[in-house]
Amino acid sequence: MKLLLLFFLINNNNNNNNMNVKTATFGSGCFWCTEAIFELVEGVVDVQSGYSAGDTENPTYKEVTSGTTNHAEVVSITYNPSKVSYLELLEIFWRTHDPTTLNRQGADVGTQYRSIILYHDDEQRALATKTLEELDKSGSWASPIVTKIEKFNKFYIAEDYHQDYYALNPNNSYCSYVISPKIDKFKKVFSDILKN
């Protein structure tokens, strides 16, 4: 029986290690909102809230919200590209926030809430740049897009209480008034790529 269990564990670990996963990193305002949306997507394996694109090593939430670290609130998305493409993730990114407001999303104001795409390879950079240019030309928004596209450097995971915030705190007033309406709209627009 122990040998059978050991065989099962080894095979499961091998399957997980061999899963073809990639990483995408986006900042589109409060990471609670962004995390809650991407966690619903089929093919997304994991979403972590954190900080990136700044100057301070191992920043805390308090430091980031002070505006002195230059970090943005971002999410690190681990995804299976055979189930969801980077282009689909980009479409979700563009359609679930306002990329024309500089350093703010709604009532959340500060450089930490800036719209940013942090690319991990040349393909991601090319797709991010192309979609930004096409959207800007399309006139989808009345104002020009201010989203920054930068090379990914380092991701600092946020404090434990920020992880899965919406799922764990659905009755929090910010969740009720800001995140829930975004989730409802997202589910209607992207119903074909939601997890079962």
Spatial separation of the C-alpha atoms in residues 89 and 123, rounded to whole Å: 13
Cα gap 42→48, rounded to integer Å = 16
Q: For the packed helices 31-38 and 180-189, what is the interaxial angle rounded to 10 degrees?
A: 30
Nearest 5 degrees, angle CA 79-CA 46-CA 179?
110
Q: Catalytic amino acids?
A: 30
For residues 150 and 116, what is the distance between their CA atoms, to the nearest angstrom? 8
State both tokens at 66.
Answer: 């002070």
